Amino acid sequence: MTSASIFSPAKIATASSVTTSSETLMPTTVNNNMKLKNDFIDKILRIRNESLNNPVFTLERYNQTIELINNAKLKSSARRNDQEISLLKTYDVLNLSNQDKLVKKIQGSEDTSIKYYVPINEVYDVIRIAHFNIGHRGIKYTLKEI
């Protein structure tokens, strides 16, 4: 029996990776997946800037933005500072299963889809899961899924 016949075309999913046996590569290991994720995060952090309107959120900045928005919502309009006003025009916070999620503020009634922001440490996993869910069909379809 050859090693190729051991695997069926069924999908293999482990806690460390999501891949199919039809791929020419071996299923990723925990260390390899973590290395790819860490390399991805490092590259994104190298090209981002420190501007407050930058959509790349570190986990600390993500939580800080949620806190600022929640506090600004509690204030009257007259007591909000310029930063709070700007944040409230751009973002909103949804509470899902007792967890706050940062979302893009919905402008008007035309586009009712909710666009979530995630901290940089979750972006790789979101892309990887979306890519797997659409059957590894490519960048264009992965972006539509996200």
| Predicted confidence (pLDDT) per residue in 70-120, tens digit | 999 999 988 999 989 989 998 999 998 999 999 988 877 666 788 888 888
Burial, 39: exposed, middle or buried (Cβ in 10 Å; 0-12, 13-18, 19+)? Answer: exposed
pTM: 0.63
pLDDT band at 27; cut points 50, 70, 90: low
d(CA 39, CA 9): 30
In whole angstroms, how far apart are CA 76 and each of 71, 79, 80, 85, 125? 10, 5, 7, 11, 38
Task: Average the pLDDT over 11-36 and give the result.
Answer: 51
**Which sequence spans correspond to the domains of the chain?**
52-134
